[in-house]
């Protein structure tokens, strides 16, 4: 089963994708994580995308479609979670073509609805374990007092993202409403869209997503 988690910055896509990986053996394909890895690796592509990402703008369709194509060609899975991809109509069309080429289908698009005020509060309070990527939040899931990650148990550095500030977030939200939100209508028209209330507790959102996948 291949699914898209669709939602604005801070909607909880990464948080929920990790559950699906752990509990259902699905493979998370997060273009944001791939781009951050490219940035950290110091490659030419990494340098190109670093500035764009820090500002909160979208990286070109060509780059992100290339990243997804490479993953689909090399990774074997019977369930991909597309997290943060597609983000434009051109990316959505490309994904459809790539899946068709592989003889696969897109089974569900889950839109995670969260209002803007909550998004800002979540994003400015977020940090992640530098080792395993476990996501924390100063308000709802603080870093343990002993400094050891609850997932990997190690005392790694807890990182904050360069684009997790109010200024970049404004651009990220604007990009979402201008370029990504048209995908809601696109997938609705295809009969693939299900909305989930992303404002509830993490466990309630998880249950709502499970409800969509298990029906």
In the complex, the smallest distance separating the C-beta of residue 129 from ligand AP5, rounded to whole angstroms, is 12
Give the span between the Cα atoms of 183 and 179, in whole angstroms: 8
104: its two tokens = 């696969």
Residue 152's CB is within 10 A of a number of other CB atoms, namely 13
In the complex, the smallest distance separating the C-beta of residue 70 from ligand AP5, rounded to whole angstroms, is 14
Angle between helices 202-213 and 13-24 (to 10 degrees): 60
For the chain, what is the radius of gyration of the CA atoms?
Answer: 17
In the complex, the smallest distance separating the C-beta of residue 145 from Mg ion, rounded to whole angstroms, is 25
Decide if 210 contacts 16 (C-beta within 8 A). Answer: no
CA atoms lying within 13 Å on the CB side of residue 166: 3
Decide if 4 contacts 86 (C-beta within 8 A). Answer: yes
Asked if 32 interacts with ligand AP5 (CB under 6 A), we say: yes
Quote the distance between the C-alpha of residue 31 and its chain's center.
7
Nearer to ligand AP5, 57 or 132 (CB): 57
Listed ranges 10-18, 153-161, 165-173, 186-194: which one lies at the site for Mg ion (CB under 5 A): 10-18
Q: Look at residue 1 and give its three-state secondary structure.
A: coil
Nearer to Mg ion, 5 or 106 (CB): 5
In the complex, the smallest distance separating the C-beta of residue 5 from ligand AP5, rounded to whole angstroms, is 8
Taking alpha carbons only, the member of 49, 62, 6, 11 closest to residue 180 is: 6
Count the residues of the shown chain that bind Mg ion, applying the rule CB under 5 A: 1
Pick one of Mg ion, ligand AP5, none as the site partner of residue 206 (Cβ within 5 to 8 A by kind).
Answer: none
Site string for Mg ion, 13-52 (x = CB under 5 A): -x--------------------------------------
Q: Single out the residue of 48, 52, 124, 143 in contact with ligand AP5 (rule: CB under 6 A).
A: 52
Site string for ligand AP5, 53-92 (x = CB under 6 A): x--xxxx----x-------------------xx-x---x-
Asked if 10 interacts with Mg ion (CB under 5 A), we say: no
User: Residues interacting with Mg ion, by CB under 5 A?
Assistant: 14
């Amino acid at each position: 089963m291949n699914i898209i988690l669709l939602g604005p910055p801070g909607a909880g896509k990464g948080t929920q994708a990790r559950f699906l990986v752990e509990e259902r053996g699905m493979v998370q394909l997060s273009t944001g994580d791939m781009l951050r890895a490219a940035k950290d690796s110091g490659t030419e592509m990494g340098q190109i995308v670093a500035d764009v990402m820090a500002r909160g703008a979208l990286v070109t369709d060509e780059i992100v479609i290339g990243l997804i194509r490479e993953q689909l060609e090399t990774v074997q899975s019977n369930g991909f979670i597309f997290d943060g991809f597609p983000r434009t109509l051109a990316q959505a069309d490309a994904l459809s073509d790539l899946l068709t080429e592989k003889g696969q289908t897109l089974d569900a698009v889950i839109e995670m609805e969260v209002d803007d005020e909550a998004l800002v509060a979540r994003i400015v309070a977020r940090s992640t374990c530098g080792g395993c990527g476990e996501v924390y939040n100063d308000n709802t899931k603080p870093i343990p007092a002993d400094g050891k990650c609850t997932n990997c148990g190690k005392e790694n550095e807890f990182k904050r993202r360069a684009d997790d500030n109010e200024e970049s977030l404004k651009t990220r939200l604007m990009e979402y409403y201008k370029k990504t939100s048209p995908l809601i209508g696109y997938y609705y028209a295809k009969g693939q869209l299900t909305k989930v209330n992303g404002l509830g507790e993490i466990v309630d959102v998880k249950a709502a997503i499970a409800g969509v996948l298990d029906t």
